């Protein structure tokens, strides 16, 4: 038996390379590639010794799928993104939502393999991003003969999958769908929620600024341009956006949680995190709401200024809208999911209150000190920025800018030609 493993070679450092010609983004991507390759090698070594459970699964008798009927269904699931390394299967890690999902589908014999499963996903969320409304479409084994429609006698897909899925990933409901249905292409709208603490933010300024995002705009300055993967069109239509206090009954303080709701047919890479990064600057009174107008005016400002986007942890793909789906819910499944989520909430809530008590005690101790502290309190939302803010604030529109879309297109076109010539040689 051939046990050789094919490992994708990283974008290796070459001592003859002229690194001064690389852009900052290219250098970062090169280092990321090497780090990912190292992690991939570690995972391969870890996989070399199968667990007892895996060995038992491999020894199971083959399942005869030819005797089964197949049904095309939609599955709705939630996952807690901070527990995993992203949604999509990756070469350098097995800790992704898709990895666990397909592991469960194969283990329960609902599919023969991924390649023949007619699988589509609604959204591709990044590392750390959660979802309460992710939807996939897939061909699965059915207990009903072809053409039968008594769904009460169908396999309880959510129940059997949830038994083998981690509590951070669970199936909520399923729906029979037409064979041509695609969770990706038939999605009408996608809605996200982003949670954040009020701190010293001026919420009204943020609301004024957010309303400027409504409608059809070119969002190239409010996303990460993914030109390398062929994305050259950045016009999107924001259908709805609102900023609301999560619990209207609570007395407002720095720890009051707000949530922004944003709805569109489709979003760009890191679009919401970039939007939140700018809204936080406006809420901290470092920028005026009109800066949104400047960023959306790509004719006047074709180059995106450098700024930090907001953290991925508070972001949740909350709802995906479809026409005509008949979601099948099971009371026992819902009871078990609520119980699991309540257990997760209990420990997170306790940790939160424990830390707040520590902060309150330290603030009391600080007030008793005879030395005055004139240091300005940092807004809680500052913790949600990827990079620490500099001591001297530079207005957004006066900062160093990235390459324009046209320059990026030329750059990647040139690189592709170079790669083609190199391979030909």
Q: Give per-residue pLDDT as tens, 196-221.
A: 999 999 999 999 999 999 999 999 99
Of the candidates 270, 277, 272, 278, the residue with the CA atom closest to the CA atom of residue 309: 277
Which tokens belong to 139?
């061909």
Least confident span in 47-61, 97-111, 114-128: 47-61
Percent of the chain with pLDDT strictly greater than 70: 83
What is the Cα–Cα distance from 402 to 307, expressed in whole angstroms? 10
pLDDT at 425: 40
| CATH domain 63-186 topology | Alpha-Beta Plaits (3.30.70)
pLDDT at residue 309 is higher than 60? yes
For residue 7, pLDDT over 80 is answered with: no
What's the confidence (pLDDT) of residue 5? Answer: 43
Q: Work out whether the CA dihedral 25, 28, 30, 36 comes out positive or negative.
A: negative
For 121, the enclosing helix (H) or strand (E) is strand 120-121
pLDDT at 59: 54
Residue with the bigger pLDDT between 114 and 229: it is 114
How many residues make up the chain in this entry? Answer: 425
Find out whether 118 and 382 touch, Cβ atoms under 8 Å.
Answer: no
Cα distance between residue 226 and residue 129, in whole Å: 18
Strands 315-321 and 130-142: parallel
Q: What is the value of pTM for the model shown?
A: 0.83
Element (H, E) at 216: strand 215-218
pLDDT score recorded for residue 130 = 98
Distance CA 76, CA 172 (A): 6
Write the CA distances from 42 to 34, 91, 92, 111, 300, integer angstroms.
13, 11, 9, 29, 48
Which residues, in sequence order, are CB contacts of 232 under 8 Å at separation 6+? 405, 409
Tabulate helix, strand, coil % of the chain (nearest 5): 40, 20, 45
Q: Which residues are catalytic?
A: 126
CB 137 within 8 A of CB 120: yes
> In the chain, which residues fall in CATH 3.30.70.660?
189-319+385-410
| Region 254-280 average pLDDT | 96
pLDDT greater than 70 at residue 362: yes
Mean pLDDT across the chain: 86
Pseudo-torsion of CA 220, 226, 230, 233, nearest 10°?
-10
Query: Phi/psi of residue 96, each to 5°?
Result: -125, 160
CB 221 within 8 A of CB 300: no
pLDDT at 140: 96
CATH assignment of 189-319+385-410?
A: 3.30.70.660
Question: CATH 3.30.70.580 spans which residues of the chain?
Answer: 63-186
Burial class (CB in 10 A: 0-12, 13-18, 19+), 308: middle
CA distance 144 to 68: 9
229: left (phi over 0), alpha (psi -120 to 50) or beta: alpha
Q: How far apart are CA 423 and CA 425, in angstroms?
A: 5
Are the C-beta atoms of 107 and 164 separated by less than 8 Å? yes
Among 140, 29, 24, CA closest to 75: 140
**What ranges make up the beta strands (E) of 229-386?**
235-245, 257-264, 315-321
């Amino acid at each position: 038996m051939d046990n050789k493993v094919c490992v994708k070679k990283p974008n290796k450092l070459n001592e003859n390379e002229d690194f001064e010609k690389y852009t900052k983004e290219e250098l970062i991507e090169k280092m990321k590639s090497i780090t990912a390759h190292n992690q991939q090698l570690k995972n391969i070594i870890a996989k070399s010794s199968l667990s007892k459970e895996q060995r038992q699964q491999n020894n199971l008798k083959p399942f005869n799928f030819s005797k089964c009927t197949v049904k095309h269904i939609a599955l709705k699931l939630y996952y807690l993104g901070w527990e995993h390394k992203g949604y999509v299967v990756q070469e350098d890690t097995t800790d992704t939502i898709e990895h666990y999902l397909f592991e469960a589908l194969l283990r329960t014999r609902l599919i023969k393999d991924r390649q023949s499963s007619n699988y589509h996903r609604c959204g591709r969320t990044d590392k750390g991003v959660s979802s309460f409304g992710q939807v996939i479409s897939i061909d699965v084994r059915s207990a009903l003969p072809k053409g039968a429609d008594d769904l009460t006698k169908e396999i309880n897909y959510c129940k059997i999958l949830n038994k083998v899925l981690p509590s951070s990933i669970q199936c909520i409901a399923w729906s029979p769908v037409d064979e041509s249905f695609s969770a990706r292409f038939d999605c009408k709208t996608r809605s996200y929620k982003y949670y954040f603490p009020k701190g010293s933010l001026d919420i009204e300024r943020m609301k004024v600024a957010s309303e400027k995002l409504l409608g059809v705009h070119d969002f190239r300055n409010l996303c990460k341009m993914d030109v390398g993967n062929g994305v050259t069109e950045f016009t999107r239509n924001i259908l709805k956006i609102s900023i609301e206090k999560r619990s209207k009954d609570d007395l407002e303080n720095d720890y009051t949680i707000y949530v922004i709701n944003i709805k569109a047919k489709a979003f760009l890479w890191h679009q919401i995190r970039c939007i939140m990064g700018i809204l936080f600057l406006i809420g901290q009174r470092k920028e005026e709401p009109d800066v949104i107008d400047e960023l959306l005016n790509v004719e006047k400002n074709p180059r995106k200024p450098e700024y930090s986007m907001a953290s991925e942890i508070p972001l949740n793909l909350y709802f995906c809208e479809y026409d005509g789906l008949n979601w099948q819910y099971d009371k026992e499944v819902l009871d078990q999911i609520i119980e699991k989520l309540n257990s997760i909430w209990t420990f997170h809530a306790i940790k939160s209150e424990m830390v707040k008590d520590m902060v309150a005690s330290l603030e009391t101790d600080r007030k008793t000190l005879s030395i005055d502290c004139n240091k300005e309190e940092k807004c809680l939302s500052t913790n949600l920025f990827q990079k620490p803010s500099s001591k001297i604030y530079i207005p957004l529109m006066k900062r160093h800018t990235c390459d324009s879309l046209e320059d990026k297109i030329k750059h990647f076109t040139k690189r592709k030609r170079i790669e083609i010539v190199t391979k030909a040689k």
